[in-house]
Amino acid sequence: MYGRGLLASGDMRVLHTSDWHLGRSFHRESLLAAQGVFVDHLIETVRAERVDVVVVSGDVYDRALPPVDAVDLCNQALRRLVAERVRTVVISGNHDSARRLGFGADLIDAAGVHLRTDPGRVGDPVVVGDVAFYGIPYLEPEMVRAAWRLPARTHTAAIEHAMSLVRADLARRGLRSVVLAHAFVTGGRGSDSERDISVGGVAHVPLSVFYGVDYVALGHLHGRQRMSETVRYSGSPIAYSFSETGQVKGSWLVDVGARGRVGAEFVPAPVPRPVGRLKGRLENLLTSAEHARYEDHWLQVTLTDPVRPKGAMERLRSRFEHTLALSFDPEGGDREVVVRPRLAGRPEAEVALDFVRAVRGEAADAEETRLIREAVEFCRLKEATA
């Protein structure tokens, strides 16, 4: 009934994607058109590769209250996937409002779109052929701690419990299995476009919590990466920060074979506009031939002129029309004492702690550190339950 001959062949073909962040912009450039091109590509891939199941491992939207254009695009994407007769399994990420994304989930299930945003359903798989798909939505430890009687308020305790429910259900069914999860696995490489999820200063979960299933489709980190042969991040389909310069974006095409043999091949997504970083003196950047290839890039430029040139952004844009970010790092160092901690990609609590140290000349003590961490986590919890 769905996809290609599930009964004829034992292989199940899964397209693993995550972190669409629909509605996100890139330094004020709207990415909605580029995200629409990605959806077109996704549908073409489903058709060309005869995909059976598409999994979206969280952060469908960029924020809890996405703009209406982003909601329209998501609606179109799901409708087109249904029209391709492919099954779609979606979990919520830390950027999504689980309750809003999960609206009407029971009703939409009947159409072959499975929105798994409720931690109460982690042990209740979507079964396609003889493969069980378990959706573990992003788990804010504080929100599941009481219901699950967790031994600690940590991501590891939350995912460990979710995986124990998955394995208990799987043992009863004896099927092949795919798990969707949204988490920061130890050893994974982050970028500047993920929001920090630390609790008590810890964001990571060990890879070992995911044992016992055939494939784990991870979301959260925006660079594609392989944590093990069968545990992978697809990364975001588009670069969402300059720290992702040089990354190849796309999805994993995963064949879950008989006896759980898994093969994965990467399908690159269309690049709306390459991103790049340039550093040098203004005059050199404007005249050197070697920089010609950056003329169509979205650029972050760092100028090293000893004296800050006037009208720098305007002049840069006369050659590099899509310069989006500009900073200064004068040669010979500048003797001014400027307190400018690196912000991007660092946990909010660490930035706040740096601020305390900078303005007071002495680091926050244990009690102050605890208060700052609690405040940051409280704000995130507020947003998650908004």
Residue ranges that bind Mn ion, judged by CB under 5 A: 19, 59
Closer CB to Mn ion, residue 150 or residue 231?
Answer: 231
Residue of closest CB approach to Mn ion: 59
Contact 61, 95 (CB under 8 A): yes
Nearer to Mn ion, 309 or 345 (CB): 345
136 versus 303: smaller Cβ distance to Mn ion: 136
Tokens of 95: 């950027």
Cβ proximity to Mn ion, 21 vs 291, nearer residue? 21
What is the DSSP pairing of strand 53-57 with strand 87-91?
parallel
CB of 232 to Mn ion, least distance (A): 15
Least Å distance, CB 23 to Mn ion, is: 12
- In the complex, the smallest distance separating the C-beta of residue 18 from Mn ion, rounded to whole angstroms, is 7
Instruction: Please tell me the distance from the alpha carbon of residue 380 to that of residue 132, in angstroms, as a whole number.
Output: 32
DSSP string covering 2-57: -SS-TTT-S-EEEEEE----BT-EETTEE-HHHHHHHHHHHHHHHHHTT-SEEEEE
Alpha-carbon gap, residue 29 to 21, rounded angstroms: 14
Considering the complex, what minimum distance in angstroms separates the CB of residue 193 from Mn ion?
7
Nearer to Mn ion, 63 or 373 (CB): 63
Assess contact for 271 and 247: CB atoms under 8 A.
Answer: no
Classify 82 in phi/psi space as left (phi over 0), alpha (psi -120 to 50) or beta: alpha
From the list 270, 285, 283, the residue with the least C-alpha distance to 239 is 270
Burial tier of 161 (Cβ tally within 10 Å: 0-12, 13-18, 19+)? buried
Nearer to Mn ion, 19 or 52 (CB): 19
**Minimum CB distance to Mn ion, residue 21 (Å):** 6
Query: Closest separation between CB of residue 149 and Mn ion, Å?
Result: 29
